[in-house]
Structure 1
């Protein structure tokens, strides 16, 4: 492959893997296999990991820099690339470079987003031509949050998070606090005191202000630092938990209000200032690419 071809196809380019917030999360039931049935609203924020993909000739899949403490074979980007190869019989290889900005174990979907970007971009770079539906189905094999990142739009989600419907909540400024703890999603979903029979609501009820997250009380009781973060944020706006945490966030109607909260909190907390987005930056970049090549 010539270097000119390499550049043209987007090899070596940086591709965004954005964070998500759960603007609402209700647990409305449980399947016989133990998976929880959810209603949730996903919205992206402009806080991203960045991935680049480098072609290799020997058909192997590797990471340029494995994440400390995560065996390379368990890394979701590696698993995503191998899954694509297994699904399509593609013989090509890749070395994946990840610039990690999203905190791990924060409920922002970093690992899932990295996996989705890998699926979507390699599908393009390798010329596999799998449909978005097919990529979503593959993503679900890697994790319940992967599909929405492949889908690329803010979404009302049901099932285990794979039934997606486009939705357009207001794109507000957000301040996100990452408490100094790692919340295990599995532990929260196994908790005896977790509500599992919330009444389903409609999109209209959500839009009217029904933002409840059924995991909030369970997580707050178990993790003092999450409780403290919620308390710190509550001085500026209504604080919420994303997914099972650990990150908590608050929305602001103006950039100024968000910056002022961010400035007040950054001395004591690991805090991020971001903007809500209804179209994933990954999807935007792909669309731009389609029109320029």
Structure 2
């Protein structure tokens, strides 16, 4: 049985620029990274679909983004109406980390079913369908770097790759996205028409330092671990840039060399043994 990779993502910067209806509008640069869950899917003659999660970050809920996706696809595609599936997911991406694992899982299954059953659905309609599962789901439709200019459905795609090596740090604390946004007190007023050049690493890093992540402050009101981790990273002069990703609680660190990243990882493991870390890169 073939396993499909479901990649995580990072927000290199994240600005909350307003709110429309029930969703916040974001201005955020996003790249997928080579940290991934592993998914296998097979058709079953059983009367309902089954979802099996394993791995270090397995979940127990029968209701999840994949079950929501399959329900929606069976409703929208006559060819899938009477089909059921066994979906196995090895969860390597931490939950409640801001790395987008749940959304990525749903989109990965969508792309598999669309290809296998030759479903007739346009790119635009695919994005609309995926947005019903989660507003950030459309971002995983392909591996391109994206600049969000809304709640996730509207974005600019880049053709260049970032080619960044990273250290991912997860303080082993689940943080609710809803709770983080509820703690947000103000919106950022910035121009969203600024040109971004992915090929010039120094200017990109400076832009990220300027914009940072608007959700850091509200997330730090929920988790002291986030404040402690920031204080640790602030002391290291080998770090070019670090930030929390999404609504947290995971952070990423960018250094000039892999050796520097390994040294930061070693320090984190020594001082915070409960924290999970991994070396990764953008894809």
Q: TM-score range by the shorter chain?
A: 0.7 to 0.9
Distance 1:240 1:169, change over 3 A: farther
The alpha carbon displacement at 1:59 in A equals 6.0
2:119 is aligned with 1:131: no
Return the match for 1:270 from 253, 256, 276.
276
Q: When the two structures are superposed, what TM-score results if normalisation uses the length of structure 2?
A: 0.85
**CA deviations over 1:137-175 (Å, ceiling 9, x no partner):** 111001111111113311011111111211236221111
Which consecutive unaligned segments of at least 5 residues does structure 1 have?
A: 1-11, 278-293
Q: Residue in 2 aligned with 1:8?
A: none
Distance 1:254 1:59, change over 3 A: farther
2:209 is aligned with 1:225: no
**CA deviations over 1:259-291 (Å, ceiling 9, x no partner):** 2222332332211110111xxxxxxxxxxxxxx
Return the match for 1:175 from 161, 167, 175.
167
Distance 1:175 1:69, change over 3 A: closer
Whether the aligned pair in 2 keeps the contact of 1:53 and 1:95 (CA below 8 Å) is yes
Counterparts of 1:114 and 1:68, CA distance in 2? 13
Q: Residue in 1 aligned with 2:253?
A: 250
Select the structure that is richer in helix: 1
2:27 is aligned with 1:39: yes
Counterparts of 1:17 and 1:144, CA distance in 2? 17
Distance 1:251 1:203, change over 3 A: farther
Q: Which moved more, 1:14-23 or 1:209-218?
A: 209-218
Whether the aligned pair in 1 keeps the contact of 2:180 and 2:222 (CA below 8 Å) is no
Counterparts of 2:185 and 2:124, CA distance in 1? 32
The alpha carbon displacement at 1:136 in A equals 1.7
Return the match for 1:149 from 130, 140, 151.
140
Which consecutive unaligned segments of at least 5 residues does structure 2 have?
A: none
Whether the aligned pair in 2 keeps the contact of 1:194 and 1:214 (CA below 8 Å) is no
Q: When the two structures are superposed, what TM-score results if normalisation uses the length of structure 1?
A: 0.83
Secondary structure at 1:204 match in 2: coil
The alpha carbon displacement at 1:70 in A equals 4.2
Distance 1:78 1:34, change over 3 A: closer
Return the match for 1:54 from 35, 38, 42.
42
Return the match for 1:71 from 42, 45, 61.
61
Return the match for 2:17 from 25, 28, 46.
28
The alpha carbon displacement at 1:134 in A equals 2.2
Counterparts of 1:205 and 1:75, CA distance in 2? 35
Distance 1:250 1:202, change over 3 A: farther
Counterparts of 1:69 and 1:16, CA distance in 2? 18
